Amino acid sequence: MFTCKNLSVTLASGRKLVENLTFSMSDHNHIGLIGEEGNGKSTLLKIFAGDQPDYVRITGFFYSDQKIGYLPQQFDEKWLDQEPLHYLLSEEPQKEIEISAWNRLSEIEKLAVQLKIDHDLIYRDQNISTLSGGEKVRLLFLKMMMNEPEIFLLDEPSNDLDLDALVWMENWIKNQSAPILFISHDIRLLNTCANKILHIELRNKKTKTLNTIYSGKYDEYLESRANLLNRQSRIASEEKREYLKKKQRLNDLHNKVEGRLKTVSRQAPHEGKMLKRSMRSVLNAQDALENQSYSKTDSVEEGIGFILPERSFPSNKKLLDLEHFCLSVNGKLLISEFGLRLIGPVHLVITGKNGCGKTTLLRQIKEILKDTPGITVGYLPQNYEEVFKAVSTPAEYLEQFTENSVLARKALGSMKFTENELEQKISKCSGGQKVKMILASMAMRNCNVLLLDEPTRNLSPLSARVLSEELSRWNGAIIAISHDREFIQEVFTLKAVIEDQIFQIHSMDEKPD
């Protein structure tokens, strides 16, 4: 059993992320934690895992009488220069593996089989920093399971997983009897696995917090919420109309009495006295009406305002022409020799198992295209820090691409950044906020080719929907890596599959040989 009561989380700036949150988890509760980017979901999970960040203060309490397993969204940097086996057998990177820890190898191998993790990953002779995103997730998951947890806190467990591993993760969550609280932006994962929803909202331009617990599926919650908002809006409109009618009647009466007072004769003191009494009654009624007023609905969070420039990629222009191309890393062959010729505004998605070379291939394509005349490349890397090394705040990042600082701030505002968030350290930004910064820079730079590595993995369903709609209608060229099934179906017309070191490309309505 996990219990949270009256928990409030406040940033050092004074802005509240969560206020008076109360809920509990017991066996078979699989709670999907949702909310927009930067609303504090990952921060909340860290707090529950006993790792309170230094940038927040908390009140209230939470308690668990069972062992908690925590899957972070990404590796702690201190482990990136270590090999997988050292990570699994050590508690600290700088310490040698204790002799007794080696006795756990057979246990780890059995656990890896249960979790569908290749033994090769455990004994891989390479630093964790060089693993693929999906391999890192698998390694984090394996380490968590080694501690035999009884309650699970999972931060984006499906991020970077290939499609086979994603299906396995769905089944694993569904078949667990233990309580699970998981953050996800994957609509299908939420619908398949969550039987409760915890929605953290920041309304009225992030000045009001709201926590909602709903028992049921994600889609059911969205429908229930939409009905509630519509009902509240209808009631507020009706109350406002009635309020304005009453106000108009009182104003008319006020003007009538005031006019009579101006014309009443001094020879009629009794009538003057009665009119003054009437005026006091009218003023009291007006004050009462103002105090009563009418219901006002909150302004809820909206999707990002992401619009790409109308700079199309010419239909007869060559985008990419690879001949006898193969891909190797450190002497290891990832993709055997293949050819790839792309012309015009193609929308191509690259898929394949974790570690097959997708990200490495996308980096190579970026290097090939970056100096090509007539092409402006926008690149979203898997590791966002690649593009943020020289800057410290969101405003500073976007101001690199324009001499108009107002335009840069306006672009970030359309991505739902508040004034305070424009000047916060990028290191304090959520993964979703970092994605939105990079997307905003692509629009500002007037890119006509986008190279995107898992673009939806940290975006909320609301923001991901806006991105999908914009990319699907856009007439520029897109080459992306994704395992987001909804996103793939909506945006792309061509699909490349990397399997057993073979690269094959086909249209979305046909399957590879």
User: Which residue ranges make up each domain of the chain?
Assistant: 1-224, 226-289, 316-389+443-505
Which of 380, 366, 377 lies closest to 438, judged by CA?
Answer: 380
Average the pLDDT over 425-439 and give the result. Answer: 92
Average the pLDDT over 350-360 and give the result. Answer: 92
- C-alpha triplet 142, 148, 151: angle, nearest 5°: 100
The pLDDT assigned to 264 comes to 75
Residue with tokens 């302004």: 299
* pLDDT tens column, 240-257: 788 888 889 889 888 888
* pLDDT tens column, 21-43: 999 999 999 999 998 888 889 99
> Which H or E run includes 152?
strand 151-155
Average the pLDDT over 414-439 and give the result. Answer: 91
pTM for the predicted model, two decimal places: 0.76
**Where would I find the beta strands (DSSP E) of 353-432?**
377-380
Q: What's the rounded Cα separation, in Å, for the pair 157 and 142?
A: 12
Of 80-84, 91-95, 138-142, minimum mean pLDDT range: 91-95
Average the pLDDT over 199-217 and give the result. Answer: 87
Neighbours of 170 (CB within 10 A): 19
Q: What percent of the chain has pLDDT over 90?
A: 56
Going by pLDDT thresholds of 50, 70 and 90, the confidence category of residue 513 is very low
Residue with tokens 């059911």: 220
* pLDDT tens column, 357-412: 999 999 999 999 998 999 999 999 998 988 997 788 999 999 999 988 999 999 99
| Bridging pattern class, strands 347-352 and 377-380 | unpaired
* Domain 316-389+443-505: CATH class, spelled out: alpha beta
In this chain, the answer to whether the domains covering 1-224 and 316-389+443-505 adopt an identical fold is yes
Q: What percent of the chain has pLDDT over 70?
A: 97
Q: Does domain 1-224 have CATH number 3.40.640.10?
A: no
The pLDDT assigned to 21 comes to 95
Average the pLDDT over 455-480 and give the result. Answer: 92
Q: What token pair was written down for 366?
A: 């970026």
Residues 6+ apart with CB under 8 A from 40: 9, 17, 18, 200
